[in-house]
Structure formats: C-alpha cells, structure tokens
Chains A and B, each alone.
Chain A
Amino acid sequence: DAGVIQSPRHEVTEMGQEVTLRCKPISGHDYLFWYRQTMMRGLELLIYFNNNVPIDDSGMPEDRFSAKMPNASFSTLKIQPSEPRDSAVYFCASSPFSGSFNEQFFGPGTRLTVL
C-alpha cells in the first residue's frame, strides 16, 4: 500500500481564495483524521470520520472550514475564504481499527501558505 496520500504537498494562495486539500486514506481503514500543525499551537485534531461519517468536528476552528468524505477512499478539507492565520501544515491520517482508535498512519502533509 502506498500509505496515506495527500495533495497538493504545497499550496500558496492569497487571502480570500478558496483552498481545497485532498486525502486518500489507506485502503481498509475505518477512520480518517484531519490535523493542523503550527508552531504556536502544535498538532491539533480538526475533525475525524468513521466509515465516511463525520463524528466529531469540534476542533474545526470556524465556519470557514469544512470537510467531506464522499467515499471510503477520498476526503477533502476546504477553507473558504482563506486567511493568513490559516497558514499551517495540514495532515491527514487514517486508522484501521473500528472498536477504538488504533495506530494512526499519517500522510506527508500539505503546507499551506496564505498571503
């Protein structure tokens, strides 16, 4: 398996633009997570899905952020409109266990810069 795949790896955009980050989890994994990492706040869980259903989005910073998982092999995290404070590295991770969180496997991340 190729592991968790994220695209793009780097994104530079201007304030106010829409940004869409993409993730392909490891095949067969039940859980998918979106994280954000900044120097100031470290690694924060934004939202997670179980079997394509959003379970907890309490970590999503505000309404400008939205996440979808239309099928078991694809998820998106969208920011609209983007702001400079959204600049961060966004990670997607997946986990194979259905009873409770098991080992998480991370993608390489998307480095987002909002000018």
Chain B
Amino acid sequence: KQEVTQIPAALSVPEGENLVLNCSFTDSAIYNLQWFRQDPGKGLTSLLLIQSSQREQTSGRLNASLDKSSGRSTLYIAASQPGDSATYLCAVGTYSGGYQKVTFGTGTKLQVIP
C-alpha cells in the first residue's frame, strides 16, 4: 500500500526566503505526482504535475522535482510571499490491483510572515 509523507507538517518563514517542501512515498512505481495548494476552507488548486518520466517541472517561482528511485519529491518556492501561505499537498498516482490509485500526503502548512 502506498504511503505518502510530508515533512514538515508546518513551516513558518519570513517573507522573501526560499524554501523547500518535502514529499516522500513508499512505492516508487508511480506514474505521476502532483502538487496542490489548499487555502483555508477552499478546494485544492493544482500547482505542478510531474509525469513519471520527468525529473522536474517549473511554474513561475515554483519548481518541483521528482526522484522515483529514492521515493522523493520536493517543491521549491523562491522568494516567498505572504500570499503563498496555504497548505501544500502532494498526491502520488500508482496502479494497485489493476486500478489507478491516488494517494495524498498529509500536507505542509506554510505561513509566510510579512
């Protein structure tokens, strides 16, 4: 069974700092990994999607990397802003019992202090 862990559970940084969020998974036979942000009381917004054949994806100040062999992904946020404050979730896609499965991590709650 796929297990997805995100460390740290919470993070507080001053505005302007670069930061890294971590996601680890136990089954390396994944077909994609997606990073989301969730604002309080809201749904999930897709940030970046990495297919299993890719090593990284970039969008603006965000860069996500994927190392399947070690079961890790990182989300790098450059020059953090207060508007980046949210919970960040990673979701791993795998096949299990002939079905496609999506397993979410528990999330990292980020606070960027002005």
Q: How far is the CA of A104 from the CA of B46 in the complex (A)?
A: 7
Residues on the B chain within 8 Å of A100, using CB: 31-32, 93, 100
Q: How many interface residues does chain A have, given as a range?
A: 20 to 34
Interface SS of B by simple majority: strand
Task: Assess the B49–A102 pair: CB atoms within 8 A.
Answer: yes
Task: Assess the B104–A103 pair: CB atoms within 8 A.
Answer: no
Bits for B39-54, please: 1 = Cβ < 8 Å to A, else 0.
0001111100100000
A14 at the interface (CB under 8 A from B): no
| Interface size, chain B (Cβ < 8 Å) | 23
Q: A43-B89, A106-B44, A109-B43 are in contact. Are A101 and B99 (CB under 8 A)?
A: no
Q: How far is the CA of A106 from the CA of B103 in the complex (A)?
A: 15
Task: Assess the B102–A104 pair: CB atoms within 8 A.
Answer: yes
Q: A91-B44, A100-B31, A103-B34 are in contact. Are A55 and B99 (CB under 8 A)?
A: yes
Residues on the A chain within 8 Å of B99, using CB: 55-56, 58
Q: How far is the CA of A43 from the CA of B107 in the complex (A)?
A: 10
Q: Within B36-95, which residues are at the interface with A (CB < 8 Å)?
A: 36, 42-46, 49, 89, 91, 93
A96 to chain B, nearest CB (A): 11
A58 to chain B, nearest CB (A): 7
Q: How far is the CA of A101 from the CA of B96 in the complex (A)?
A: 13
A42 at the interface (CB under 8 A from B): yes
